Amino acid sequence: GPVAETFRVIQGAMSEEHVRTTQGVFQFELSGDDAGTWYIDLKTKGGSAGFGKPPVAADVVMSMSSADFVKMFT
């Protein structure tokens, strides 16, 4: 779906520079067509993004519709 595709793009764009400069973990609680928990980890070495809870505690938790999430990242 569009949310999974957005996270594939985010994962592919990550770099050590992003991790070094951001140092944050973002958790997204999405509702709607692609409901679920997703994350972007820009704190742990190498960074990661995907479905489920982040590997470490989130610094920021955002709740929104999956449609709004896709709009925000496109």
- Are 6 and 51 in contact by the 8 Å Cβ rule? The answer is no
Give the domain 2-72 fold: Nonspecific Lipid-transfer Protein; Chain A (3.30.1050)
**Closest residue by Cα to residue 3 from 54, 71, 61:** 71
Q: Are strands 60-65 and 24-31 parallel, antiparallel or unpaired?
A: parallel
Phi, psi of 46, deg, nearest 5: 90, -25
Q: Are strands 60-65 and 48-51 parallel, antiparallel or unpaired?
A: unpaired
**Would you list the domain boundaries of the chain?**
2-72
Per-residue confidence of the chain (74 residues) as pLDDT tens digits? 999 999 999 999 999 999 999 999 999 999 999 999 999 999 999 999 999 999 999 999 999 999 999 999 98
**DSSP 8-state class, residue 32:** S
Tokens (6 digits) for 17: 């520079």
Global pTM value: 0.92
